[in-house]
Structure 1
Amino acid sequence: MNALFALLVATTLLHPSPLPAAPGGKPKKPAADKVALLRVDKSEHRLDLVAEGGRVIKTYKVAIGSGGAGPKRFEGDKVTPVGTYRVKGRFKGLFHQFINVTYPNDVDRARFAELKRRGEVPPGRTVGFGIGIHGVGKREWNGVHKQSDWTHGCIALDDAEIDELSRLVPDDTTLVITD
């Protein structure tokens, strides 16, 4: 047993770890870029994962709502909202996987109230809810679905992409959507 211990100590001294030791004696892992921001450009059909400092880590092509440009006005308009939101939870099953975002925010609520006051909201409509980033849920639709805007206001990726995004993006990450 002592000979084995001596051999391990000698091997460690002759072949030290290439990474400096962290407190507690474990080697430090190289720092990986952490996602600090999600940025969606509706006109470019692009979702960027952005690290602190602004470096784009990865870019995805996306499908968005079929309602066109501009901010979401009310429930059912099929417009992907414009504004700043946060990632708040995720669940599997709906469109393969669904990452919920904090729509509506205070700006959306104020816009809706003003539109309603001016009589520009159809009767019975609300500001809406349930906006998120999701997959498609059907293998044969992966890739193909991005040829047109088809969601009711969400942002859609292929199923493998939403799985990757879900692993990389923690809750409370900021999401900025622009036209």
Structure 2
Amino acid sequence: MMRICSIVCCMFLAFSAVADDDLWLLVDTKARKIEVKKGDKTVETIDKIAIGRGGAGVKNHRGDNITPFGDYRIGWVGEKSMFKRFFGLNYPSVQDAENALRRKVIDEYTYNRIVYAHQFHQIPPQNTPLGGQIGIHGLGSADKRVHEVFDWTHGCIALTNTQIDHLSQLVSPGTLVKIK
């Protein structure tokens, strides 16, 4: 796991410079949809998404299966994911780290590592007590019927394989993703 994170961090140092700043994603966890936005205008909607088994909200710790609320950027794209395609988010954010430090979930050293990564447009550490590897992905070989019935991820946002293929035509590293 640590080796993967190190590779990811080194490969995607300048992710914020790649994306179209006007295009962004609004993930509505209550309505179970993603709105593709261009400025304030919704240009497309992707329905019937799945989120974490623990619902959405403040992510308390690794393994809580919660999809975190907040503003993130796509930090990397995994084209050979077991979930078809994986758009990794730069979770945890500075805000996530501040909240976790205040609650004593992480120590100051971990907080500083997360803040440093964001200051230099790097992927924050993915192996903290807050967890990591949060993103938007497809189903891979998973059963589409299960996807349609309940939320099943460990905190990610899941789409069908067709939807994730389509989304890959619209987004790139650096794209803003707001999860509410």
Q: Which residue of 1 aligns with 2:5?
A: none
RMSD over aligned Cα atoms: 2.1
Instruction: Please show how residues 70-149 of structure 1 align to structure 2 within 5 Å.
Output: 70-91=57-78, 92-116=80-104, 126-138=129-141, 141-149=143-151
| 2:35/2:42 contact within 8 Å kept | no
| In structure 2, C-alpha distance between the alignment counterparts of 1:55 and 1:77, rounded to whole Å | 31
Answering whether residue 38 of structure 2 is matched by residue 36 of structure 1, we say: no
Q: Which has the higher contact order (CA 8 A, sep 6+)?
A: 2
| In structure 1, C-alpha distance between the alignment counterparts of 2:59 and 2:43, rounded to whole Å | 26
**Number of residue pairs matched?**
138
1:164 to 157, 163, 166: 166
TM-score of the two chains, using structure 1 as the length reference: 0.70
Q: Which residue of 1 aligns with 2:35?
A: 48
Deviation at 1:47, TM superposition (A): 1.0
TM-score of the two chains, using structure 2 as the length reference: 0.70
| 2:33/2:45 contact within 8 Å kept | no
| In structure 1, C-alpha distance between the alignment counterparts of 2:163 and 2:87, rounded to whole Å | 12
* Residues 55/144 of structure 1: CA separation in 2 closer, same or farther (3 Å cut): same
| In structure 1, C-alpha distance between the alignment counterparts of 2:40 and 2:65, rounded to whole Å | 33
**Unaligned residue ranges in structure 2 (runs of 5+):** 1-20, 106-127
- Please identify the structure whose Cα radius of gyration is greater: 1
User: Counterpart amino acid of 1:137?
Assistant: G
| In structure 2, C-alpha distance between the alignment counterparts of 1:138 and 1:177, rounded to whole Å | 26
Residue identity over aligned pairs, in percent, reads 39
